[in-house]
Structure 1
Amino acid sequence: MEFAIGPEAGYGNRRLRLSTLTNTRWLATVGQLSAVLFVGTVLMFDMPIVACLALIAVAAIINLALTWFYPANMRLNPVGVFALLSFDVAQLAGLLALTGGLTNPFSLLLAVPVIISAATLPPRFTALLALIAVGVASLLVFVHLPLPWYPDVRLEIPLVYVSGMWFSVVSCLIFSAIYVYRVAEEARRLADALAATELVLQREQHVSALDGLAAAAAHELGTPLATISLVAKELQRDLAGATAEELREDIRLLRSQADRCREILRRVSTLGTDDEDHVSRLSLRALVEEVVAPHREFGIRIEARAVGDSTTEPAGRRIPGVIYGLGNFVENAVDFASEKVEITMAWTEDHVRIRIVDDGPGFAPEVIERLGEPDLVPVRSEDRRYKGGGGLGLGVFIAKTLLERTGASVRLANSTIASEGAEVVVEWPRASIQALAA
């Protein structure tokens, strides 16, 4: 299963609801109406109030039409959102043209539609909308009515001041859009990576449950199947001389054992694991061996050793997240190792630690500080034994996230020993292991 992360990924699943845009426009309409009425009726400034009210009415009518003809929870595609935001830029530009152009203090609001686009639309739509807004701002430098002011008093604004306002508007528009885009993009990538983590964990839980219950079911099915086989043989041997009562008793026994088999199989189909503690608990050595086993057939020597102190070896429940997280790191180590991978298990009264080291090229220096972030960038150098699969930050992020959910701390670095490459250290407080075992 692949999860796309990047500038164009994920926008189809994050479409804005129509009600979000209409509610925002109602807020803007109320603000515009309040400003026009205050300037025209309270301050008594000379301004084309009728034309301004007409432009505000157009926005209100379009909002009413959208609310009337479309459901509020309708998800708009990027083109629809872009069209509505473009209208907002044009409508605001019309109001500014009637009220002083860029000399109007509200001219900075031209950046708002672009900021909304940066947070919700793919970059190409935001770039196009920004160009439209910059073009409109440039046009407003030369095409506009005078700034509303006291009657019979003409307010002259120097061109250098207007140029400064243009630069201010454009700067606000560009820097705000870039900032919001970066923040929203980080949230999108994190959401995608967490979604991938949840799906992987869910799959591992189902696989784990099926494995454990299959082992229990195989054990439990042995007795009823043996009974059925024995009764069937006796029926076959004694069928001629058996009485009706004896036949009924044997058939009743056959049915009870068949029902027992059906119940066991039902539990397998529903992945119920409540009663399978005896197959879901592992010692630390058994846990590591289960993680390592699938990777021993790739020509890389995997050495696992324990250096625990005199305390009892840790044991806990078989948690799919831990199995997958450690398995991901072991797989990467095998993928990039030249000859061997060393796994060291250590424990004390306070901590439990697993160290995974390979003799490969190590992590790429340019990404060493970003390890564990959900980025689609290579986290290893190109000198690798296997060219297919692995090597991207998303897998490391998923593994790290799954392990940290169990209380572990994960450290990824290049080993300081000359003969070793990458090093992954996973450490739990002993109390976390005991809590997981409960």
Structure 2
Amino acid sequence: MPGAPPVRHVAAAFNDATGLKNMQQLIQLRWMATYGQLVTIAVVHFGFGIRLPIENMLTLLALLLAFNLASQWRWRRDRQVRNAELFVALLVDVGMLTAQLYLSGGATNPFVFLYLLQVTLAAVLLKPWSTWTMVGITALCFAGLAVFGRPLALPPDHDRGLASPYIQGMLICFALNAALLVIFITRIGKNLRERDAHLADLRQRAAEEEHIVRMGLLASGAAHELGTPLATLAVILGDWCRMPFFTSDPELHQEVSEMQAQVQRCKTIVSGILLSAGEARGESSVETTLCTFMDELAREWRATRPVVRFSYENHVGDDLPMVADPALKQMVGNLLDNALEASPRWTGLAITRDADALMLRVTDEGPGFAPAMLAQIGKPYQSSKGRPGSGLGLFLVVNVARTLGGTVTAHNRPEGGAVVTVRLPLEAITLEPVDAADTLDEAEDTASKEPHARRTAD
């Protein structure tokens, strides 16, 4: 079907979204680090009376603030975030932390253990080579601070326990490390789990599409093989209709005519299979309108099925141009066939427009779906018919709708029976782009000019 994105493109887009989410987590962490450093500098300098080069440290904070504003502006949209960009972002954080530690005690500063936070984030976010590079860089920074750092004039009072400013700083550093690791590792882990779950769905979708391709190849081959015997039967039945033996007996003549109609129906099905497989599509594609296409579909289905009562309602209103698509026709036919099998006495089809989407609602008066089937609508071979190979109708319906960018939902009616609703974007099935501003109110205005929508009931 046109417009179906390859699975690898969808997977790539999802991976990009995961990288963007992780970058946004780093931006949030940098905001917290900026506020935390500002509070810490104020408490140490003014509260504990420990003299700090406050002007230089505030200048570094201003640079970190400017970098984070630029990062937030750059990553406010959906962009591809690569490993190298995450690595550079973490390097900036390590560089800023190193500069602040250099101005406030070097390796003797209890907040030097915040390097472990950067290493842990690298281990979660980056590729192995980047993580080990980050380990080496932080180790060199620690060693450089031990050699070149500016020591603070702190009293040797480590034996005072929690009364010692140094011990208090270590406790705050530990609590900060632990809290940030729990918060951000949990969020990043959630992003990664969502990515894995989505990739699993994509793999399942690829397997289902491969299954459909195999079915299509088998159906196309069978259609080619059936073409010759059906043509032979059509010729023989045509000869029989002209033979006096059959023309003289009205009952036999009627049965032969019925056989001709059924053979013609088989030939139409075979032609539809070949058309859906892509053969002779250019010859058979016909430009039509949405209402005409749906009206003819309902009329043809009613004429070729042994349904007692069939209710058809078309409330679309705007008759948009489209190209008759055999896959869409087969999808609706499968839904109606399933409803007819469950409810031979009555089946209903209602078509409406919901803003920029087409809504197809098939209703029946049968026993409804089992709860287990409702939970797995669209899975192959999920059927209550108990026949080998059954359960492919809804599977094909869901895949055609998904290829067109639509959805399929199902539920049981309180009064009995089931309802299957297909929602298809109009831009995927019509020739003209549908403006999102063309809302349901406009459709209702159009419908109000035509008090009676297209409706047929037998």
- Bucket of the pairwise TM-score, normalised by the shorter protein: 0.3 to 0.5
TM-score after normalising by structure 1? 0.42
TM-score after normalising by structure 2? 0.40
